[in-house]
Structure 1
């Protein structure tokens, strides 16, 4: 059932209400452009300035009530659930990496792929690893050094090999059950992770297959894989367990907790002491601290914007030309892509646009599973194509090449963009039924 239209909001009031977003984007973009580095100006600081401005401009309420609105939305059960998952995912990722699970996964994936084809093998390995660990950054760290070594031993086209890794890394970042983008997209749209995965697969899998076929046609051969042997294949167990348990429908916090326990047991069996393992987990939790702060600030700022009528005003402007579900889907993809372009952070973009996307979906009858898929996929496309994204900067830094050097070879992101557009135009997949919304207290399924 569609929502009733929101009351008309005058342009002056509406622009003032959404001005905290403009303040945030101005400080982040202006400073970044001036100094020529999109990671010198911390996103958290820009969000803090936007949040402070949101408190200042909210008239008609005492300061204590404005702060209460900010705190209530920042500390909502939905946001806190995401924070818990971020903490568990950070601990698991760091623990698995330190005990050698990433290295073992890389070696095992490459060993069982056709050894005569380097490019398809590297791309498939990146897809598998990123799907298992839920982070494109972790995949880049694991595979880029290997890609550079293989490129130098073969054709010498390092940017091409690095682009293959980046494409595969974003495949899993877009689909993984433990990816922060998946968590943010599904929680903001009120759908289950496995349902969003099935919808998303209709877009991401054809793009990956098309890219894989292209890499097979390119047909570069692998060098001798003997140097990749020697890893303990049992160390792949935590990643395989994460995928199997998540696909079985277990709660994501339970899945991650089991993964952590299994990783600790394997770590003890391979010579690590318990204190060192706890230290690895602690560093992993510390690594998601900035993401948690960003999540809290963005949620609180958007709470103030909503209370001031900003969300209703944005909806009012955006829906003037939207006519039906197809236009709403295009609007969701466009808005999250534009925000990602400005912030260079796909999780922040999804959190920022999530509430707006949910309102559009309800008004125009877009299935929440499709809305979550559009949010995640569109932000993933933009994040993978911008040369100032964290993943691209990290990969090109490890490879000692220019951040723009990989751009001509990013085949998978462009293929993903094509299938995203086709999914909006032809409205696929056709979703017969809508799963019950996930309430803030219903955490029985990932």
Structure 2
């Protein structure tokens, strides 16, 4: 997100503010976890940790206060950052309004009503995937489905750890592919590509893992007893906004139009069915905005910090060191995946990991001609793999929290087949270009930073 026309002189000291940011965020999580605090890595607000990093940048980096402030503001106001933040707000509003008018409940109940009883495990994976891809949040999908999944597992004699793993796998599948997920927004904006193009690359990486996972769940997830599947209340009309957003976004309509249309479509349905009034509709739009404030502030502050560090030579220093280990395009892709994976393992937040590594990945793309649509998919995919595997991540902690201590994350991790297969798929795609159909059809035009039609 910096100016590539003039490369600054490499300066390792310029990375210290970023190190401060990550150290505070990681350190607070480790300290709180050692004290037994629930969701320890999510207690210290990431924007505050980033702000401390910004203060460190003002203290450490060379230049006058006014020069450093101008650099910081230029980064905060970067076009990609502003677009990213605007999309976050709209995605939050769409999710909040759609949930308030009953969209999430109708979608879950629709799936549960029509799942054949002997396909419960596969059905839970599919429902979790659809909820997550529709709402853009794996945590939301897990929170909505897990209580029902636990009840079904108990009635049918299913393995509870495997049932939880199916829900988590489906949720991460949807989060990785959703066009309104904060990870997708961060990955595409930092790499400068369209969300629909990233989806078209990403789906060929994720689909094989999902299909094999469903086959395994069908084989090993058969219930001991066939439970009587009840009919749940649902309204198919309330599912339409999710389908609208997904389809229209993939067609290529501007994301601002897509999300604004989704918000008003959900609002109209809510008004017609009496779930919303004009007042509660507006309140839920605002609630959706406020739900995204943390990631909004983090993106803005990180954009400012990244610009300061870049101008001071920090990113150039890091790139020069990374390039000593990179020999070509394939190793560059693996390097991007390794960086975002290690960062996610450190901060337990896949969006934060993408935002931190996005500028580095963009520079590696330019140097080794890695297509930005592919780097966006790699960033999102590797961050989702690790976010869905680490025992201290929000997904596994919330998932196992519903069992009230009966199941630990470590009992679920070996059964997270989707995440493991996704790792195999994305690494294999670096050597066998089975996911590069769009890239071959529409090569990236490096001179004007776009895909050729």
TM-score in terms of structure 1 length: 0.92
- Give the match for residue 294 of structure 1: 298
- Structure 1 window deviating more from structure 2 (34-43 vs 360-369): it is 34-43
- Structure 1 window deviating more from structure 2 (47-56 vs 278-287): it is 278-287
Equivalent residues in 2 for 1:37-48, closer than 5 Å: 37-48=40-51
- Give the match for residue 313 of structure 1: 317
- Give the match for residue 334 of structure 2: 330
Equivalent residues in 2 for 1:343-354, closer than 5 Å: 343-354=347-358
- Give the match for residue 417 of structure 2: 411
- Give the match for residue 109 of structure 1: 111
- Give the match for residue 174 of structure 1: 176
SS in 1 for 2:17: helix
1:261 is the counterpart of 2:285 = no
How far residue 242 of structure 1 moved from its aligned partner, in angstroms, is 0.9
- Cα distance per residue 1:228-284 (max 9 Å; x no partner): 2x2112111111111111121111111111111111111111113221222222222
- Cα distance per residue 1:345-386 (max 9 Å; x no partner): 111111111111011111111111111111110111111111
1:30 is the counterpart of 2:30 = no
Work out whether residues 158 and 399 of structure 1, in 8 Å CA contact, stay in contact via their aligned partners in 2. Answer: no
1:434 is the counterpart of 2:443 = yes
Work out whether residues 195 and 369 of structure 1, in 8 Å CA contact, stay in contact via their aligned partners in 2. Answer: yes
Unaligned runs of 5+ in 1: none
How far residue 435 of structure 1 moved from its aligned partner, in angstroms, is 4.5
Work out whether residues 158 and 222 of structure 2, in 8 Å CA contact, stay in contact via their aligned partners in 1. Answer: no
**Residues 286/176 of structure 1: CA separation in 2 closer, same or farther (3 Å cut):** same
**CA root-mean-square deviation:** 2.2
1:89 is the counterpart of 2:98 = no
How far residue 94 of structure 1 moved from its aligned partner, in angstroms, is 0.9
1:304 is the counterpart of 2:303 = no
1:356 is the counterpart of 2:341 = no
Equivalent residues in 2 for 1:155-174, closer than 5 Å: 155=157, 157-174=159-176
Q: 2:247 aligns with which of 234, 244, 247?
A: 244
- Give the match for residue 191 of structure 1: 193
Q: 2:394 aligns with which of 390, 402, 421?
A: 390
**Residues 101/256 of structure 1: CA separation in 2 closer, same or farther (3 Å cut):** same
**Residues 5/68 of structure 1: CA separation in 2 closer, same or farther (3 Å cut):** closer
SS in 1 for 2:22: helix
How far residue 5 of structure 1 moved from its aligned partner, in angstroms, is 11
How far residue 227 of structure 1 moved from its aligned partner, in angstroms, is 3.9
SS in 1 for 2:227: coil
1:375 is the counterpart of 2:379 = yes
Work out whether residues 53 and 305 of structure 2, in 8 Å CA contact, stay in contact via their aligned partners in 1. Answer: yes
**Residues 40/219 of structure 1: CA separation in 2 closer, same or farther (3 Å cut):** closer
Work out whether residues 191 and 438 of structure 1, in 8 Å CA contact, stay in contact via their aligned partners in 2. Answer: no
**Residues 424/240 of structure 1: CA separation in 2 closer, same or farther (3 Å cut):** same
Work out whether residues 8 and 312 of structure 2, in 8 Å CA contact, stay in contact via their aligned partners in 1. Answer: no
Work out whether residues 190 and 438 of structure 1, in 8 Å CA contact, stay in contact via their aligned partners in 2. Answer: no
How far, CA to CA, are the matches of 1:437 and 1:253 in structure 2? 26
